[in-house]
Amino acid sequence: MKSRTIYLIGILLLISLCLKAGYAKEEKDDDENNKKTNKKGVTYDGTSLIINGKRELLYSGSVHYPRSTPDMWPSIIEKARVGRLNTIQTYVFWNVHEPEQGKWDFKGRFDLVKFIKLIHEKGLYVTIRLGPFIQAEWNHGGLPVWLREVPDVYFRTDNEPFKEHTERYVRKILGILKEEKLFASQGGPIILGQIENEYNAVRLAYKENGERYIKWAANLVESMNLGIPWVMCKQDNAPGNIINACNGRHCGDTFPGPKRPDMPSLWTENWTTQFRVFGDPTTNRRSEDIAFAVSRFFSKNGSHVNYYMYHGGTNFGRTSAHFVTTRYYDHAPLDEYGMEKDPKYGHLKHVHRALELCKKALLWGHPRFKKLGPDTEVRYYEQPGTNVCAAFLANNNTREPNTVKFKGQKFVLPSRSISILPDCKTVVYNTAQIVAQHSWRNFVKSEKNSKGLKFDMYSENVPSKLEGDTLIPGELYYLTKDKTDYAWYTTSIKIKEDDLPDKKGVKTILRVASLGHAAIVYVNGEYVGNKHGSHEMKSFVFKKPVKLKPGDNHISILGVLTGFPDSGSYMEKRFAGPRGASIKGLKSGERDLTENNHWGHLAGLEGEKKEVYTEQGSKKVKWVKNGERKPLTWYKVTHTCQLGKH
């Protein structure tokens, strides 16, 4: 394996030296042209983006600033650069920047300007995906939760309240970036922007109002004249000069191309793996498949690919969408902690290097296509009158290797692979042949650090009778307001002794129908059970026998959220929490508790309000050693970390 690695590097260096003179001349021509026009900013044609007068092939990776810490940013950006990326893509997260209406936050993990400036310092470009809706498996798809309470609001449609707040947000963010001179037209790194996100998925639900909204959003950003092109991904009917772009795993085959011949072919999301939701097994996309897809896209006139994600990171705090785990895209080229995930990281670095050797042919050559056999083909680019030529030999057979003949030479192609020939003669890279190193990561319990740990416990009281304020259970999203994931529901029922079942085997059953996401149920202060939904089916029905007594019986339900929704139409009308409750098995028949009882509500847990998870907050409650374990218990331990030898 080591000798093959050295052999590949040697070929890459040889081809690089052979083509260096040609590249230098082309770059000199670009520089001279730029000096003549003195034009800053980004334009485009049917071949590529043209940045400050210079054509570029763009290898981009998604890195989201709130999903890592500022201390991690320089290392992540540097590793992306070493991985031969020249662009970083990020969403802008409206709900972290404006958690309360009119109150803005750009500190710490939310320091967008600092993040972009660090990228610029490394010599990389930046693409911003502004939203307002981003999805991103992020809480509420990036939309602030307070928007739900704006009177008469409907999200992502031709709705005046939504457009008013969206325009205020868009102008705020773009104004800050412009003031910091971060757009390419100002000498900064931002070369491309995206407004909205995958709107085709909801377009039919909003009909004509959706079409008007998309045109309005496009006009809004274009009217600001920031000197960069704007895109809409998965939006075939992108209005005006907005470029339509592709999201998916195989855009070289699934993307019909840009809507106009004078627009470049851009791939805004090449999914490097799959995000995790609770209950799902680990999934991973093979490095060979990603490399094949990238090579195919560039061989078919693609000029920009973005890996979603290149570094996934962590959904800190309560930022995950419903049922999405805190570990985000851990099998990306850079894992959750920012470490290289090989062979994916190394294999993609090599494909970027190989494509860069083809740059002159791809950007200035004429495309050619030829079938070489039933499952084989070649796509190549030549510049007439010169020796500039780059070829992509493809074997689409998923099981068998194939031997092909091209320009008088024979080439062996592994199954489902593409060989890249920057001079149409020499194979410098094959998508199925991995010469990058392999690495893995293990989590091993430290006996030294775990030995002798003793936990103190603090158990919360279960509220039995909150002041009743409604005749039906309150809506859980509204009660929590994105400040907590928990809310108590309490009601009481008076039972006559002669109404209780006296026959053997007959039990009283408590039934609670919930729209999600989970519930913990108590009767008369005693734990009865719990139930939860899933990412695919949020709603569920809790149904268990309960022990009732003559007189007053108190029912307490702790409603639990796993995050707000992040996709789909009419998000402002999504609901969660208990929607109906009844008692079965009484002699008098089923007793409905939904509309005949008063319900009391209390958002949040006592431990949250007292911040018992902090050093100061932990002093506000009484901790017990080796106490009785209850369902609502906080645990505390003092831990001194001892680092092992490396």
133 contact partners, CB below 8 Å, separation of at least 6: 141, 142, 143, 155, 156, 196, 197
* Structure tokens given for 427: 């194979």
**If you write DSSP's letter for every residue of 18-70 in order, what string do you get?**
HHHHHHHHHHHHHHHHHHHHT--SEEE-SS-EEETTEE--EEEEEE-GGGS-T
Q: Which of 198, 340, 475, 572 is catalytic?
A: 198
Contact between 351 and 343 (Cβ < 8 Å)? no
Kind of pairing, strands 125-131 and 190-195? parallel
H helix or E strand, kind and range, residue 583 = strand 578-584
**Host H or E run for residue 192:** strand 190-195
Q: Which of 98, 269, 340, 475 is catalytic?
A: 269
Cβ burial of 181 (10 Å; 0-12, 13-18, 19+) is exposed
Which residue type is seen at 191?
I
**371 - beta bridge partners?**
377
Q: Peptide bond preceding 132: is omega within 30 degrees of 0, i.e. cis?
A: yes
Cα gap 469→477, rounded to integer Å: 17
| Whether residue 196 lies in the annotated active site | no
- Catalytic annotation on 611? no
Q: Any idea of the CA torsion for 217, 220, 223, 224, to the nearest 10 degrees?
A: -120
E strand intervals along 383-433: 389-395, 402-406, 409-413, 417-421, 429-430
Nearest to 302 by CA among 392, 407, 422: 392
- Rounded distance between C-alpha atoms, residue 482 and residue 471, angstroms: 24
Catalytic residues, which ones?
Answer: 198, 269
